[in-house]
Amino acid sequence: MKQLSSFARVSLGVFPTPIHRLNRISEELKADIWIKRDDLTGLGLGGNKTRKLDFLLADAKNQGCTTVFTTGGAQSNHAMLTAAACRKLGLTPILLLKKRGVTENVGNRYLESLMGVEVRLIDTDDYADIYREMDEMGRARGEKYYKIPCGGSNALGSLGYVDCAREIAAQDGGFHHIVVAEGSGGTMAGLALGAKLFLPHARAHGMMVDTDPFDEITPRLMREAAALLDAQVEITPDDYALMDMCGPGYAIPSKEGNEAVRLMAEREGIFLDPVYTGKAFAGLIRLCREGTFAKDDRILFVHTGGAGGLFAVR
Ligand SMILES: Cc1ncc(COP(=O)(O)O)c(C=O)c1O
C-alpha cells in the first residue's frame, strides 16, 4: 500500500485537530462520548473540506491550473472553504452555486463577498448543467482550470479523511464508533476506509443529511480511494453503517437536529450547524437512546464545521 505521505499536499490547515471528551453530554446520554474538532482545521471558519482540499488543490497546482471552479448549494460550506483555500494559495476561485436555499448575502455568501470571490448563482437542479457551464467559462477565460466536484467528494478528496482516521489512530486508537455527517459522501467514505486500515476496532457511522443513494456512493468512493492507495482491501457492507437523518429535506432544519445544536451549545459551549453537524449529532443521540452502543463503547463524533450555515437559517 502507498503511504498517504507520498501524495502531494498544499498544507492548508493546522493538524492534528484536538480530540476531547464531552463530559456533560456523556453524563446526560449515559455514554462515553468524545469529539474530534475538525471545526478547528485552521482555514476560514474551519471544517472538513480543508483536509480534502489539501489533496485536491495540490493536484490543481501540479497540473499548472490557475483557476479553480467548484459548486454546491447557495450556502455551500465546501464552496466557501475552497474559495478561502484558493485565496491562500494565490489561485483564482470561481463558484457556480445552485440558486437554491438561502441565496442572500448572509452566512457563507457574506464570507465569499468578504473574500471578493466571483459567484454565479445557476438556476438548475442538475449539477451536469453546472459542470458544462464551468467548461464554457474556463475555455472563455483561456487559463488552465481545475474543476472540483460538489463537496470535493472524489477519490482524491476522500484521502483527506483516510488521513484523518490515521490521525485519530495516532491520537487515541481506542474508539469503537466514529460518527460523522454524510452530505456528498467523501468524508464518510474516507473515514470508513481509514477506520478499516488504521482503527480496526472502530465502526464508522454516516449520518445522511441528503437523499442521494449513499449505500452506493459510500462503498464506491471507498473502493476508488483504496485503489488510489493500492490498498488490497475488500469493501463490504460491514465496513460502514448509514442512517437517514435528513428530516424534512437537505438544508431544511429538522426538529431533532435543532435540539442537538442547542444541546451541544448549552452543555458544552460548542456550535453545531443545522444542515450537517446538528443532524449528525442528532443521529448519535438517537443511537444512544436506542441502545445501539455497548456499555463500555467509546464513541467519537467528528465535528465537520459548518459555522457559516448557522448565520443563514431562515
Ligand atoms: C459542515 C459539513 N459537514 C459535513 C459535510 C459532509 O461531508 P461530505 O460532503 O464529504 O459528505 C459537509 C459537506 O458539505 C459540511 O459542509
Residue nearest to atom 6 of ligand 1 (CA): 183
Strands in 92-98's sheet, in edge-to-edge order, are: 118-122, 92-98, 67-72, 145-148
- What is the mean pLDDT, run by run of 10 residues, along the chain of 314 residues? 97 97 98 98 97 98 98 97 98 97 96 98 96 97 97 98 98 98 98 97 98 98 98 97 97 97 98 98 98 97 96 83
Q: What domains are there in the chain, each with its CATH number?
A: 4-48+153-310 (3.40.50.1100), 49-152 (3.40.50.1100)
76 is catalytic: yes
| pLDDT in the model for residue 142 | 94
User: Which residue in 291, 299, 298, 303 sits closest to 265, CA to CA?
Assistant: 303
* Ligand 1 neighbours (beta carbon < 6 A): 47-48, 77-78, 151, 153, 181-188, 273, 276-277, 304-306
Residue nearest to atom 3 of ligand 1 (CA): 304
Report the percent of the chain where pLDDT is more than 90.
98
Which residue among 38, 78, 98, 281 is best mutated to probe the pocket of ligand 1, counting the most ligand atoms within 8 A of its Cβ? 78
Nearby residues of 187 by Cβ (< 8 Å), 6 or more positions away: 48, 52, 153, 158, 160, 161, 180, 181, 302, 304
SS3 35: strand
Distance 180 CA to ligand 1 centre (A): 9
Long-range contacts of 169-173 (CB under 8 A, 24+ apart): 169/198, 169/199, 170/16, 171/16, 171/19, 172/19, 172/34, 173/198, 173/199, 173/201
| pLDDT in the model for residue 313 | 79
C-alpha cell at 157: 478528496
Does the global pTM surpass 0.75? yes
What is the per-residue pLDDT across 121-138, written as a single tens digit (0 to 9) for each?
999 999 999 999 999 999
What is the per-residue pLDDT across 134-175, written as a single tens digit (0 to 9) for each?
999 999 999 999 999 999 999 999 999 999 999 999 999 999
Distance 238 CA to ligand 1 centre (A): 23
